[in-house]
Amino acid sequence: MRVIRSRDNPLARQFSSLVHSSRHRHKSGLTVLDGIHLVAAYGETQGAPQTLLVSESGLRHPEVVQLLARSPMPEPVVLSDALFSECAAVQAPLGIAAIIAMPAPPLPPGPLGPCLMLEDIQDPGNLGTLLRSAAAAGIPRAFLSSGCTLAWAPRVLRAGMGAHFQIELYEGVALAELASRHEGRVLGATLHGARPYFDVDLTGTVALVIGNEGAGISSGLLAQVHERVYIPMAAGIESLNAAVAGSILMFERQRQQHR
């Protein structure tokens, strides 16, 4: 089996560019899954990735061997350990990654159902955590404004821990327009003119709106909100992390659903 050792190899250059360059991801429509958990989650739900990359030492690791044996994976491309580490975003002990096409589904034409609406979430960790919480709390869809960081960036994928493959994900959405046609109630997380979240009915067909980490929900989107909710906090605390606030609301909805 041939091993790629040169950083000038076209595939090695592509791997590195997709990991480190948002521009290259947007231009190519491709991204990288790094680590065995993400690669396995993709294989279980989506099938074979476009390209599978494994380091020399990773190819001998029992977990990688098992994954290749049980999943519909293509023949792996082997990189030297040094080159894999140079290209990868993080130090991956198992030395495995995959190149995939970034899904870009059209908006659903019919009812939207229970969903998460995320406006201008900039931090990759926050976005990935919100998607992970949505999957765990049984929220089947998430709609992201064009001001959100790219959902398929490697850092977001790592924070999402496979959630991208468990929910329907739509990017570049005009949220105010979408909220205006939502068939249920649209609830916005904000501090002003809001009721405590535990006093609000979060069950049924609701859209939960989480705004930008600093600016909150825009006035245009807020105008489409049927009810505002907030999370009471101790004196002297101004706000919560967007991912924490969104997760609290999603799991409160789950609690109320099963009450």
Q: Within this chain, do residues 205 and 233 fall inside the same structural domain, yes or no?
A: yes
HSE, CB side, 13 Å, CA atoms: give it for residue 31.
20
Question: Per mean pLDDT, which range of 43-52, 68-77, 179-188 is the poorest?
Answer: 68-77
Query: Buried b vs exposed e over 150-166: b needs ≥16 C-beta within 10 Å?
Result: bbbbbbbbbbbbbbbbb
101, 123, 157 — which closes off a domain?
101
Tell whether the model's pLDDT for residue 40 goes beyond 90. Answer: yes
Q: Within this chain, do residues 181 and 230 fall inside the same structural domain, yes or no?
A: yes
Domain assignment of residue 180, yes or no: yes
Radius of gyration of the chain (CA): 20
- List of residues 6+ apart from 223 with CB closer than 8 A: 176
Q: 107: closest CA among 45, 179, 55? A: 179
Per the structure block, which two tokens stand in for 43?
């294989």
Tell whether the model's pLDDT for residue 257 goes beyond 80. Answer: yes
Q: Within this chain, do residues 23 and 83 fall inside the same structural domain, yes or no?
A: yes
52, 75, 101 — which closes off a domain?
101
Tell whether the model's pLDDT for residue 166 goes beyond 90. Answer: yes
Domain assignment of residue 247, yes or no: yes
Provide the domain limits for residue 88. Answer: 3-101
Q: What order of strands is seen across the sheet that includes strand 51-55?
A: 3-4, 77-79, 51-55, 96-101, 30-34
User: Could you give the CA distance from residue 121 to residue 214 in angstroms, rounded to a whole number?
Assistant: 9
> For a pLDDT cut of 70, what percent of the chain falls above it?
98
CA angle, residues 223, 229, 230, in degrees to nearest 5: 125
Domain assignment of residue 108, yes or no: no
Domain assignment of residue 106, yes or no: no
What's the confidence (pLDDT) of residue 237? 79
Tell whether the model's pLDDT for residue 93 goes beyond 90. Answer: no
What's the confidence (pLDDT) of residue 238? 76
Confidence band of 91 (pLDDT split at 50, 70, 90): low
What's the confidence (pLDDT) of residue 192? 86
Q: What pTM was computed for the model?
A: 0.93
Domain assignment of residue 37, yes or no: yes
CATH number of the domain where residue 233 is located: 3.40.1280.10
**What's the pLDDT tens digit per position in 123-146?**
999 999 999 999 999 999 999 999
User: Could you give the CA distance from residue 165 to residue 223 in angstroms, rounded to a whole number?
Assistant: 32
Q: Within this chain, do residues 121 and 210 fall inside the same structural domain, yes or no?
A: yes
Q: Within this chain, do residues 124 and 224 fall inside the same structural domain, yes or no?
A: yes
Q: Are 87 and 12 in contact (CB under 8 A)?
A: yes
Q: 130: closest CA among 219, 250, 37, 235? A: 250
Confidence band of 94 (pLDDT split at 50, 70, 90): confident
Q: Are 142 and 118 in contact (CB under 8 A)?
A: yes
Segment 145-161 mean pLDDT = 95
Q: Are 118 and 144 in contact (CB under 8 A)?
A: yes
Domain assignment of residue 109, yes or no: no
Tell whether the model's pLDDT for residue 111 goes beyond 90. Answer: yes
